[in-house]
């Protein structure tokens, strides 16, 4: 899967598209996306994820609904996970699917992450979901409509989708009371900036990064109370974390920065922060 532009360019270009031309993907393009979804995708935790391209009308008498949040879309990418895998599977869903979204952005297609605003029964039928599985997210993919609905414009304004937290609120050095000095980041400045551009549910940007004295980058999730009672296999914040990690790794690889994901063990956490994983800079895969 080769990107049409740099990861940074694609991250800047990608937006949540809610209005589509009401037509299915043309066959060659549709087949290309199906091939990508069906191919082996590298992930962080090597979770068992099934990616399906489903279309309106693929199951008789079953409509793929999005409660009016998406208009015109005929094709959707659906992520199917085993419930028992919990949060790690969701991190991998975000990690893997965000790469495919950036690819779609590069070839001019629109996409939009959907976590809770779709009819689960319809997508469950279309993706042949089994009782031990769940569909935590679906993504419409198609041709962007030039006509923007009032609802789409309003939602974009409310979400503030392009607004990003300042660096000093998400990047830290040795402790969470000490923001990471931009002038001292060095070669990782671009990768962290690309991470900062990552989309997230309700634009909460729940990721926090802590660099330690051994040049490890520790990635934390700032948990939101609104997801407290959500099962791990449906908690959108873990998908958000995977999206951010995807942006970071892609930018590192593009720059030729050696490094790898490591289980750094239990790292002291502040209240409300969950240690997810660490990136060891300078290590080869």
207 pLDDT above the threshold of 90 = yes
Per-residue model confidence as pLDDT tens digits over 12-37:
999 999 999 999 999 999 999 999 99
pTM, full prediction? 0.92
Mean pLDDT of the chain: 89
**Number of C-beta neighbours around residue 285 at 10 A:** 8
Q: 3-state class of 158 per DSSP?
A: helix
Query: What pLDDT sits at residue 56?
Result: 87
Cα torsion 249, 253, 254, 255: sign: positive
- List, in order, residues 6 or more apart from 148 with CB less than 8 Å away: 19
Q: What is the structure's pLDDT at 182?
A: 81
Tokens of 277: 């994983």
Q: Which domains does the chain have, with CATH numbers?
A: 7-152 (3.40.109.10), 167-281 (3.40.109.30)
Per-residue tokens: 53: 């391209």
pLDDT value of residue 267 = 58
* Residue 248 and residue 191 in contact, taking contact as beta carbons nearer than 8 Å: yes
Backbone angles phi and psi of 27, in degrees to 5: -55, -50
Q: What is the mean pLDDT of residues 197-202?
A: 93
Lowest-confidence region among 9-18, 31-40, 65-74, 221-230: 221-230
Q: What is the mean pLDDT of residues 179-201?
A: 91
């Amino acid at each position: 899967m080769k990107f049409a532009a740099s990861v940074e360019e694609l991250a800047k270009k990608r937006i949540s598209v809610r209005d589509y031309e009401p037509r299915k993907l043309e066959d060659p393009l549709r087949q290309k996306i199906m091939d990508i979804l069906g191919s082996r995708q590298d992930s962080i935790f090597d979770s068992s994820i099934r990616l399906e391209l489903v279309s309106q009308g693929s199951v008789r008498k079953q409509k793929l609904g999005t409660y009016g949040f998406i208009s015109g879309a005929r094709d959707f990418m659906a992520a199917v996970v085993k419930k028992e895998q919990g949060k790690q599977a969701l991190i991998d869903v975000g990690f893997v699917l965000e790469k495919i979204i950036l690819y779609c952005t590069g070839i001019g297609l629109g996409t939009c992450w959907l976590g809770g605003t779709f009819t689960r029964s319809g997508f469950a039928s279309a993706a042949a979901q089994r009782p031990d599985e769940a569909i935590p997210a679906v993504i419409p993919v198609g041709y962007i409509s030039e006509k923007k609905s009032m609802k789409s414009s309003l939602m974009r304004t409310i979400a503030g989708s392009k607004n990003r937290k300042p660096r000093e609120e998400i990047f830290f050095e040795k402790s969470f009371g000490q923001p990471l000095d931009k002038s001292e980041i060095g070669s990782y400045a671009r990768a962290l900036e690309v991470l900062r551009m990552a989309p997230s549910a309700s634009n909460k940007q729940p990721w926090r990064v802590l660099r330690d004295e051994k040049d490890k980058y520790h990635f934390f999730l700032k948990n939101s109370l609104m997801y407290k009672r959500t099962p791990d296999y449906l908690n959108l914040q873990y998908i958000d974390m995977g999206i951010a990690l995807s942006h970071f790794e892609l930018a590192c690889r593009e720059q030729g920065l050696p490094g790898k994901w490591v289980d750094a063990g239990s790292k002291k956490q502040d209240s409300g922060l969950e240690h997810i994983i660490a990136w060891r800079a300078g290590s080869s895969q």
